[in-house]
Amino acid sequence: MQRNSGKFALVLAIVFGLAASLLVWSYLKKVSEPVDTVAVVVAATDISPRTALKKEMLRIQQVPANVRHPKGYASVDDLLGKVTKLAITGGEQVLETKIFAEREESGLAFVIPPNKRAVSVGVSELIGSGGLIVPSDRVDVVAVFDSRVAGKDMATMVLQDVEVLAVAQLIQGEDSVSLTTKASKTVAGGSQAQPKADPKVQPTAKSVTLAVTPDEAQRLILAEEKGKIRLALRPYGDTGKANLSEAVLAAARTTGQ
């Protein structure tokens, strides 16, 4: 009886040993099989909201295909210059839901050209060329001063070929196509503007925001504070600068005669 029990135990041990060996073999075979991987863009470091993405902030990482998020990116170039909507943790996949679709959506600060400032001036339909100026247009700024300010009644061209960033709350890129930095391609050292696509005019707008240098900002603000300004809409593609002297009232009367 004991001899039979010993044989039975030996058989069970052999069976369990074979089963364990089979499980180990199956596991090793499974983990040794190659896993399909895909490239995804992940944050190289922690990225704060409303940050314009640069190359050094991102990196490519290979992950199993089933781990890649459907709203992820496969190329760093697709993200350069875009602005984060939400914070992204280092090592985290960069998702469409955390990125503004267009820079314009993230606010005016991300539309201002390099080395420029955004300055808003008060306008009416008359001052703003009949209310037909739209974001991306380019304008000249003419200031009129009376004799109490300038010693004589006069008009002068304060600024020329200035980019319109916004009209009221409509920012460049919203319902319009940029004629300069945002939608132009640099060729032969210059900008080749793209035509506008059915922009929306705002005849009741109370303000127009212009892109100016710091020096131009001072002149523009002083001109609006001490005189009256008018915006002269430039023809599409015209980047020439006119060499004009100031116009005085006496000369205007003589010319009219």
Residues 216-255: tens digit of each pLDDT = 999 999 999 999 999 999 998 888 888 877 777 766 555 5
pLDDT digits (tens, 9 = 90+) for 25-72: 676 666 555 668 899 999 999 999 888 899 999 999 999 888 899 999
**Residue 107, SS3 per DSSP:** coil
Domain boundaries, the chain: 37-101, 111-256
Non-local CB neighbours of 201 within 8 Å, separated by 6+ positions:
131, 132, 133, 134
Both tokens of 136, joined, read: 């991306």
| pLDDT per position as a tens digit, 83-123 | 888 899 999 999 998 988 766 566 777 788 889 999 998 87
Partners of 138 in the beta sheet? Answer: 163
Fold of 37-101: Type Iii Antifreeze Protein Isoform Hplc 12 (3.90.1210)
CB 111, CB 177: distance < 8 Å: no
- Answer yes or no: are the C-beta atoms of 65 and 38 closer than 8 Å: yes
Task: Retrieve residue 190's tokens.
Answer: 């210059």
Is residue 116 within 8 A of residue 183, CB to CB? The reply is no
